Structure 1
Amino acid sequence: MYREEIMDHYKRPRNTGKLDTEYEAEGENASCGDKVHVYAEIEGGEVTDFKHETEGCAICTAATSILSEKAVGMDLDEISELDRDWIIDELGIDVSPMRVKCAVLGLKTLQDAVSQD
C-alpha cells in the first residue's frame, strides 16, 4: 500500500524528541486523532535544528519525519512558502483527499511555530 520509504519513516521516524526553544507548536487533526508537537531552533533566520513528537498514522508520521530532514537549512521565508503540494511530492505517493490533513499536519505546525518570530 505505501512505498518502503514511507514505512521506514513511520517505523523509525527521524529527529524525534524535544528542544528547549521558543519556536514550538502543537497541532492536531481532530478528524483522525493525529497529534504533532514540533520544535525548531532558528539562528539568523534559518532552521538549524528540528525535532518532533508525533502520534499519528503512517502518512502523518512519515511526512513529519521527512519534513524534519528537509527543514534544517531552510530560511523562514522558504518554510512559510511550503504548501501541501510540496509535502505530498516529498512523500512520493498519491494521497487521497481524506488523508491530505494527515500529510500536512507537521508542516502546518512548523509554520505556526516559526511564525512567532
Structure 2
Amino acid sequence: MTDYQNARSLAEQLTALGEPTRLRIVAAIASTGPAAGPAAVGVLAERLALPLMNTSHHLGVLKGAGILIDRREGRSVVYSFAPGVFVPSRKDDELGTLHFGEWRISIGRTAGE
C-alpha cells in the first residue's frame, strides 16, 4: 500500500503529466530516432510546433515534478528524463515505461515511430 508521502509525490507527478502539451513533450523525449530523444527547448518547440515560451514553461513544470532534468551543453540547456524515471521498452508497440515509485505508466508507440 502506498503511504501518504509517496501518494502525494505521485499526485504531483500525475498532475504535471495531466496536460496535453506536457504529455506530448514527454512522448517526444521518450521517442527514438533521429529527430527524437532529449533535446534543448528550441528543438523541442520546433519538433512539436509550439511557441518557445510555452515549451519552456511546460518543461519547467515537468522538471519541478521530478520527471525531467536539465543539463547545460554549451549555450543550450538539454532536457531529459530524471534518473530512473524512464525505462525504454523492447516491445514493438511500446516506447517505454515511466517509473514513479511503485507506480508505472507505459507509453505506447504510435504508427510510424
TM-score interval for Structure 1 and Structure 2 normalised by the shorter chain:
0.3 to 0.5
In our comparison, the structure showing a higher alpha carbon Rg is 2
Structure with the larger RCO, 1 or 2 (CA within 8 Å, 6+ apart): 1
The normalised TM-score by structure 1 is 0.33
The normalised TM-score by structure 2 is 0.34
Higher helix share: 1
